[in-house]
Amino acid sequence: MSTWHRGTTVLAMTAVGALMLSACGGGGGGDKKADGKASSSATSSHDKPSKGDDATPSAAPTQILAQIKGEHDIVVVINSAVRDEDGFVTVQGALTNNGDSVFNAVTWRGPETALIPSGPSIAGAVLVDEAGKKRYYVLRDTDGKCLCTMGLTLIQPKETRPLFAQFPSPPATTTQVEFELPTMPPAKITISDSEG
């Protein structure tokens, strides 16, 4: 009985020792587990900061539909043009002042006197559907102000500001339009449908 007990204890200790060696040793299986844990923890640690950075425009606006370079070293980047279910197209992007002096977007408002309430803005932006031979102007609210970025004054050298403008939607079959902004060259952009 005692011999059997000793034999069982030795066998159990041998099995435990083998398991410990395979778990802690430098064998391939142990490294894979360690690497797997390291990579999953590295992945999760990288995921957490990126989730926290969602507030900054780093993840969403990586897509560039168009880049427009104008006078005074002003650059406009269009990141999205999305058609929603209500029949509107919202164009979003950013402008960067790469010049040496302060920029005011007074001329971007357009020549219409009705747009004066919008002040320095992108109220003069237009979407041109060449195939359908139609022009779509920025929408306005009941006070005559544009549904677009306003207050575009005192933009310092190297400063970037977000832009948006909302237009009536061209027909659903129209996906290619030209984005025009006064004093800037036109740019072709693609309209996508909203996922919601």
Q: What does the block give as tokens for 102?
A: 């302060």
Q: Is 129 helix (H, G, I), strand (E, B) or coil?
A: strand
Judge whether residue 12 has pLDDT over 50.
no
Q: How far is 73 from 96, CA to CA, in rounded Å? A: 8
Judge whether residue 27 has pLDDT over 70.
no
Q: What does the block give as tokens for 128?
A: 């041109």
Q: How far is 21 from 12, CA to CA, in rounded Å? A: 14
> What is the residue extent of each domain of the chain?
2-55, 63-193
Which residue pairs from 68-73 have beta carbons closer than 8 angstroms and sit at least 24 positions apart in sequence?
Answer: 68/179, 68/181, 68/184, 68/185, 68/187, 69/185, 70/181, 70/183, 70/184, 70/185, 71/183, 72/97, 72/99, 72/101, 72/103, 73/97, 73/98, 73/99, 73/100
What's the rounded mean pLDDT across residues 45-52?
37
- 58 pLDDT band (50/70/90 cuts)? very low
Contact 94, 163 (CB under 8 A): yes
Contacts of 19 (CB under 8 A, 6+ apart): none
Q: How far is 145 from 137, CA to CA, in rounded Å? A: 13
Angle at which helix 28-52 crosses helix 2-24, to 10 degrees, equals: 50
118-165 pLDDT, tens digit each: 899 999 999 999 988 999 999 999 888 999 999 999 999 999 999 999
61-115 pLDDT, tens digit each: 478 999 999 888 999 999 999 999 889 999 999 999 999 999 999 999 988 888 8
**The predicted structure's pLDDT at residue 196:** 58
Domain 63-193 = CATH 2.60.40: yes
Contact 95, 165 (CB under 8 A): no
Q: What does the block give as tokens for 155?
A: 């933009």
Of 76, 63, 107, nearest to 187 by C-alpha is: 76
CA R_g for the chain: 30
